[in-house]
Structure 1
Amino acid sequence: MPSSEGDLTILKDTFLEVAEGQSIAIIGQSGSGKSTLLGLLAGLDQASSGDIEIFGNNISKMNEEGRALIRKDYISFIFQNFQLLPTLTALENVLLPLQLKQVDNAKAKALEFLEKVGLGHRVHHTPKLLSGGEQQRVAIARAFACQTPILFADEPTGNLDSQTGQTVADLLFELNEQFNLTLVLVTHDPKLANRCDKQFSMNAGELIEVKVGEAL
């Protein structure tokens, strides 16, 4: 990435291969490059070099329109800062991507997943009327409802109380098992990371696999 002081390297040479249906966790300190890597893998950002393939599609060679089509068909994303549309209700925020994908019974599905994250009584509230934890749960319901083959999650339980966080974590891995969902998450929670098939540590832009039995 270019800067006023010359090129700035955020991520070092990185190789990561994730099998279909696999769950992986990426851990590391703030500023280590975890969220940047997640954004690149999801096609939300574009790397200055290298290749990223999603189900055989090299998104590194695509323009934004091409990457958006890949995201529509293959990818859901849980953002750490929610990314909810402020003028839409919780229900409408979850419903919108389903309508864009022309999903059958979209409203029923949106309501189902809002119920699953404990927000069945808040469906008609806009984000400003919801707490941070409730907004996070709307963002999670939106990602779950799309039921794409890949889910990227940036600190999915970071704004939740322990009981709700456990419920969300259980749902993550239930979807992972039931629908062969490929799950890639960034987390500071060692319990959540330990439930994944593989764990990686990110340190100063370098990704290193954490072997079973090693301390996180």
Structure 2
Amino acid sequence: ALHVRLDILYVESEMLEGPNAEEAKKAILECDGIFVPGGFGKRGVDGKCAAVALARHHNIPYFGVCLGMQVALIQVCREELGWKDANSEEFDPSSTHQIVRIMDCDRHSMGANMHLGARNVHLVEKNSIMSTIYSGADFVVERHRHRYEVNTTYLGQLRGAGVLISGVSDPTFGPHTRVEAIEIPSLRFFLAVQFHPEFVSSPMDPSPPYLAFMAAASKKEYKWPESCAARRVKTL
């Protein structure tokens, strides 16, 4: 659909933390887009935050998935809100600003609190990237695999820092609402999602978020036949 050749540069996030950080940053700044995928564990987390900062400071299209969304919000809180200890409960349980945590309703046992499978993602901002790429749908179905998620206690502060909450599990923002997608509208393209769009992507039916990111990185509009998004609009 985009007619572009993909040239991937893999950068180990720990390289952004060590003595060769400037060299790694220089390599990233030559890229057309920055993608931070999902993962577990604290290794390289500060490097991932550094990648988010590069995307924000240089207006480079950014797409984060799962942990890629969590580190995006951690970086914003550290820089925009001045919360230097902002972190995830997974990485620093002693932090006074746990932007990411296990929801209270999921604190049963470590083996039973993974948020798994297909779930409704409600698109609550009509002028957002998410609404655009999913053809204006009220909600879509995407697959999940995570344990930690955004601490909704801080939604007000995140919005004040310029973050748009564009996808949630509950459009009424009830007590168990999960943040599913965030954007920074002041940037050319900054999108991060908690779900894993790649789980339902295929060559003939590409994931709208991934396709949009590639379109933004190649300086094209993220518009394509509605069938790409329409097949994900169904009721669970």
TM-score after normalising by structure 2: 0.30
Which one has a larger percent helix, Structure 1 or Structure 2? 1
Pick 1 or 2: higher relative contact order, CA cutoff 8 A, min separation 6: 1
TM-score after normalising by structure 1: 0.32
